[in-house]
Structure 1
Amino acid sequence: MFKRFVSLEWKQFSRSSYFQKGIAIKILLGLAALWMIASALVLGVAAFFGIQKVMPDKDPITVVNNFVIYWFLADVAFRYFLQQLPVLNIKPYMVIPIKRSTVIHFLLGKTTISFFNFLPLFFFLPFSVLLIINDFAALQVIAWFFSMIFFTLSINYLNFLLNKNNKAFYLILTLLIAAILLEYYGVYSITEPAGYFFNTIYNKPYAVIIPLLLMIILYRFNFKFIRKDFYLDGAISKETKEVHTQELTWLNRFGKVAPFLKNDVRMIIRNKRPKQVLFMSVIFLFYGLIFYTQETYQDMPAFLAFASMFITGGFLMSFGQLVPSWDSEYYKLLMSQNIPYREYLKSKWLLMAVAVVISFILSTPYIYFGWDIYGMIAAGALFNMGLNSFITLYGGVLNRVPMELNVKAKAFSNTQGFNPTQLLIALPKIFGPMLIFYLPYKFINFEAGIIALAISGILGLVFTNFFLNKIEKVYQKNKYKTIAAFSEKK
């Protein structure tokens, strides 16, 4: 039966529109994966020899155990945003005589076969081999290695649950940030109790049973969580709730794009996922505190330009990268109306531009760090409105992943609207302003870099109609591909 499941999953994948993405994108993603694997290998080897050189009086395994807790906490956050959990379309199997347990075990097995589960191997394996070669107790090292693998798989099953419970994720993220800050300012060191725990697992090989039991418990918890709602009526039922209508008449001043703006504002007010994006956009406002408060970055002004762009570009980055996935549930209806496509795109651009302006106003307290920093933030805001907004809209052509606006706690519904292609689209948005600022700064001065960044954004605003017309043609050309992709169920 599992062989049949694998065959059906491959057919679904190979026949879908997602399989038809450009070969160049696949090559770049493959290169990115190889780079991460190579980095993990180098880190695994360098960790052993580096610790021996810097801390010759300490065992490398002890030092790694003291800080491995940060690896796992970061892994939780990394997976939440990037790991695309494989989801089986279970509805067809609900009406045929297949055991529910068989389908659920296959679904959970798919989550195990993930790049994020294999990547830690390339760190822990070479590190463990070097330990054994250098006369560390083989039994203890092997038990420790499998413990790390079991913890990794436990995080995999934990991520399956966190994707359905945003509050739990925000709690873990808050704990991670708090632990880093407490460690940095010397208030409390989480490495001591965590290090004691992981060192105990190393010193007592039979303690490998702890992460093994944790993995089994999380697996069983996921199994019961899915089985609880594994019924046809539960899968197709819809929650009915009262909706309050907002007139939003103040948006009428924007003319033809007003109806689209009203739809977007209502969507943000009423739905969970857009609210999350809005919340994350507010967090971006504090991004500058990481760079402006550190003396290290004062000698690297290109990174200051990077931070300045992010301060005002939080909403643009998080909301804009999911255009047109926000409308995937009714995109077919939207495209069947007698409305200009250009007005639809213009409304998205206008919403992002207004968000940049609001973010810039809210960033006024950064004047505390100096007028040169605030001028860089202003230049970053102009760049975001004039160029990054259009790059983001253009990238939406490659974003054909359907998304549920109200992601509920369903174990078999994880349509997040995110795909790795967006990371590639983000590269010019991130490195573009850094390069535009750095070249004039290098050959002239700091103020020249700010002026170049601001002028590039102003030129983008001047040619707004030109960019919108070009982007409209691309969207029109790919309209039916997008409609077909949004009609699929991932």
Structure 2
Amino acid sequence: MFKRFIALEWKQFSRSSYFQKGIAIKILLALGALYFIGMAAFMGVAGYFGIQKFMPDKDPITVVNNFVIYWFLADMVFRYFLQQLPVLNIKPYMVIPIKRSTVIHFLLGKTSVSFFNFLPMFFFLPFSITSLVNGDYAVINVVAWFFSMLFFTLSINYLNFLLNKNNKVFYGILTVLVAAGLLQYYQVYSITEPAGYFFNTIYEKPYAVIIPLLLMVMLYRFNFKFVRKDFYLDGAISKETKEVHTQELTWLNRFGKVAPFLKNDVRMIIRNKRPKQVLFMSFLFLFYGLIFYPQESYQDMPAFLAFASMFVTGGFLMSFGQLVPSWDSEYYKLLMSQNIPYREYLKSKWSLMVVAVVISFILSTPYIYFGWDIFGMIAAGALFNMGLNSFITLYGGVLNQVPMELNVKAKAFSNTQGFNPTQLLIALPKIFGPMLIFYLPYKFINFETGIICLAVSGVLGLAFTNFFLNQIEKVYQKQKYKTIAAFSEKK
């Protein structure tokens, strides 16, 4: 039966619009994956000799065990934000004689076939082999240690599934991590020592490998029970119907032809958790500069100050804009069938992002405390966001053909619908562009010239607004039917 499932999954993937989308993007992502795999393998080999060189009086495996807890914590965070959990359209299977347990086991098995599960192997396996070849270690101990690392990695994989599906688990784990971080920061209690002792015990006593194995099995069973609980046609997969109250928002009529689209976006933000989350996170971006501006170490690295200045006013642009047009995926087909100019739809999204940047800039006024140079950089970053980053973000929407369901029960801070790795590539020019535009004039002339060049680049972008919108409209029109087909698919 699993063979049949795999065949059906391959047909669904190969026939979908995602298979046809952006071969260049796929190549870049593949090269990125190979790069990280190569770096992990290199660090696995070089790590052993590096520890021997810089810590000759310590055992390399013991050193890794003392700090491997941070590896797993970072792995959990990266998985939460980047790992796309596999889904399965279960309705067709529920009306034919297939055991529910079989379908659930296949769904959970798909989570194990992930880049995030293979990457640690390319670190721990070379490290283990290097340790056996160059060190005086018992084979059984090293093998047991390697498999324990593998079991912990899979345990995090299944824990990530629960984090993305269960609010109670998410907030519980978040509370524990925040508490541990605060205790570590204020030097009340350090998790490094007990964690190191635990992992060293697993290495010294090979039979202790049963602990991570049991943890993996336990988390797998939790996932199985969690999915099975709502595995009914009239359960969690049924659509929820509830009464909503409409808002007229007549004050937006002053914006003319783009007013209907702006009203749709404002209503969406008011009614749904995910857009509210984006709005809240955009507010938090205002405090991003506090990480850089007070630190003396960054005063000699002004390119990073330009990076921070762009983020202070670009929170909403980055978080909301990167999900255009996925916000409208549920009614995109209806929207595109109306007798309305595509240009007005795009202009409404652009206008919303620009207004958000202006509001963020006004709220960033207290940064004058750090000096007029810093505030001038924030102003230049705001102009760059309005004049260039807004168009780059809008253009990136062509490559974002992942649907988003806003009307289902979903968690607020852990909803990653509509996200795909392609967005990371689109984010590169938005992040490094302003840094480069500022740094080159700063390096060859002075600080003020760098700010002026950054601001002028944004002003030029605003001057060519019609040109950029025309070019973006052509690309959206070309991809219109592919986007409609992608949004119609069940991911």
TM-score category of the 2 structures, normalised to the smaller one? over 0.9
Q: Are residues 1:107 and 2:107 paired?
A: yes
C-alpha displacement of 1:154: 0.8
How does the TM-score come out when normalised to structure 1? 0.94
Corresponding position of 1:302? 303
Alpha-carbon distance change, 262 to 34 in structure 1, aligned in 2, over 3 angstroms: same
| Amino acid in structure 2 at the alignment position of 1:427 | L
Q: Are residues 1:25 and 2:25 paired?
A: yes
The number of equivalent residue pairs is 487
Corresponding position of 1:322? 323
| Structure 1, 32-41 or 385-394: larger mean CA deviation | 32-41
Q: Which runs of 5+ in 2 are unaligned?
A: none
1:43/1:123 contact within 8 Å kept? yes
Alpha-carbon distance change, 324 to 429 in structure 1, aligned in 2, over 3 angstroms: same
Q: How does 1:13-92 map onto structure 2 within 5 Å? A: 13-92=13-92
Q: How does 1:440-455 map onto structure 2 within 5 Å? A: 440-455=441-456
Corresponding position of 1:3? 3
| Structure 1, 308-317 or 41-50: larger mean CA deviation | 41-50
Measure the CA separation in 2 of the matches of 1:86 and 1:400.
16
- Report the secondary structure of 2:235's partner residue: helix
Corresponding position of 1:238? 239
Measure the CA separation in 2 of the matches of 1:105 and 1:48.
38
| Amino acid in structure 1 at the alignment position of 2:104 | I
Measure the CA separation in 2 of the matches of 1:287 and 1:265.
25
Q: Are residues 1:93 and 2:97 paired?
A: no
2:306/2:438 contact within 8 Å kept? yes
Alpha-carbon distance change, 407 to 364 in structure 1, aligned in 2, over 3 angstroms: farther
Corresponding position of 1:386? 387
C-alpha displacement of 1:263: 1.1
C-alpha displacement of 1:395: 0.9
Q: Percent identity?
A: 88
Q: How does 1:55-454 map onto structure 2 within 5 Å? A: 55-133=55-133, 134-166=135-167, 168-169=169-170, 172-173=173-174, 176=177, 179-180=180-181, 183=184, 186-234=187-235, 236-408=237-409, 416-454=417-455
Measure the CA separation in 2 of the matches of 1:178 and 1:299.
34
C-alpha displacement of 1:477: 1.6
C-alpha displacement of 1:196: 2.0
C-alpha displacement of 1:170: 5.6
- Report the secondary structure of 2:234's partner residue: helix
1:273/1:407 contact within 8 Å kept? no
Measure the CA separation in 2 of the matches of 1:317 and 1:171.
28
Alpha-carbon distance change, 299 to 18 in structure 1, aligned in 2, over 3 angstroms: same
Calculate the aligned-residue CA RMSD, in Å. Answer: 2.0
Alpha-carbon distance change, 182 to 438 in structure 1, aligned in 2, over 3 angstroms: farther
C-alpha displacement of 1:478: 1.4
Measure the CA separation in 2 of the matches of 1:364 and 1:170.
33
Alpha-carbon distance change, 440 to 393 in structure 1, aligned in 2, over 3 angstroms: same
C-alpha displacement of 1:250: 2.6
Alpha-carbon distance change, 201 to 363 in structure 1, aligned in 2, over 3 angstroms: farther
Measure the CA separation in 1 of the matches of 2:163 and 2:407.
15
C-alpha displacement of 1:54: 2.4
| Amino acid in structure 2 at the alignment position of 1:227 | R
Measure the CA separation in 1 of the matches of 2:342 and 2:431.
28
C-alpha displacement of 1:132: 1.9
| Amino acid in structure 2 at the alignment position of 1:335 | M
2:162/2:170 contact within 8 Å kept? no
Measure the CA separation in 2 of the matches of 1:188 and 1:417.
39
2:148/2:209 contact within 8 Å kept? yes
- Report the secondary structure of 2:19's partner residue: helix
Superposed CA deviations along residues 358-408 of structure 1, whole A, max 9, x for unmatched, are: 222222232232221221111111101110000010111111111111453
Alpha-carbon distance change, 125 to 24 in structure 1, aligned in 2, over 3 angstroms: same
| Amino acid in structure 2 at the alignment position of 1:307 | A
Alpha-carbon distance change, 176 to 361 in structure 1, aligned in 2, over 3 angstroms: farther
Alpha-carbon distance change, 362 to 182 in structure 1, aligned in 2, over 3 angstroms: farther
2:239/2:408 contact within 8 Å kept? no
- Report the secondary structure of 1:395's partner residue: helix
Corresponding position of 1:474? 475
Measure the CA separation in 2 of the matches of 1:446 and 1:181.
37
Superposed CA deviations along residues 304-363 of structure 1, whole A, max 9, x for unmatched, are: 211211121111111111100000000011111111211111111111111112222222
C-alpha displacement of 1:171: 5.5
Measure the CA separation in 2 of the matches of 1:278 and 1:154.
33
| Amino acid in structure 2 at the alignment position of 1:330 | Y
1:164/1:408 contact within 8 Å kept? no
C-alpha displacement of 1:139: 1.9
Measure the CA separation in 1 of the matches of 2:396 and 2:204.
51
2:81/2:416 contact within 8 Å kept? no
Alpha-carbon distance change, 174 to 310 in structure 1, aligned in 2, over 3 angstroms: farther
| Amino acid in structure 2 at the alignment position of 1:247 | E
Alpha-carbon distance change, 371 to 190 in structure 1, aligned in 2, over 3 angstroms: farther
Alpha-carbon distance change, 333 to 348 in structure 1, aligned in 2, over 3 angstroms: same
Measure the CA separation in 2 of the matches of 1:184 and 1:36.
30
Corresponding position of 1:12? 12
2:285/2:311 contact within 8 Å kept? yes
How does the TM-score come out when normalised to structure 2? 0.94
Q: Which runs of 5+ in 1 are unaligned?
A: none
2:273/2:410 contact within 8 Å kept? no
Measure the CA separation in 2 of the matches of 1:439 and 1:232.
60
1:403/1:415 contact within 8 Å kept? no
| Amino acid in structure 2 at the alignment position of 1:38 | G
| Amino acid in structure 2 at the alignment position of 1:444 | I
| Amino acid in structure 2 at the alignment position of 1:205 | P
| Amino acid in structure 2 at the alignment position of 1:65 | N
| Amino acid in structure 1 at the alignment position of 2:88 | L
1:251/1:262 contact within 8 Å kept? yes
Measure the CA separation in 2 of the matches of 1:162 and 1:407.
17
C-alpha displacement of 1:179: 4.5
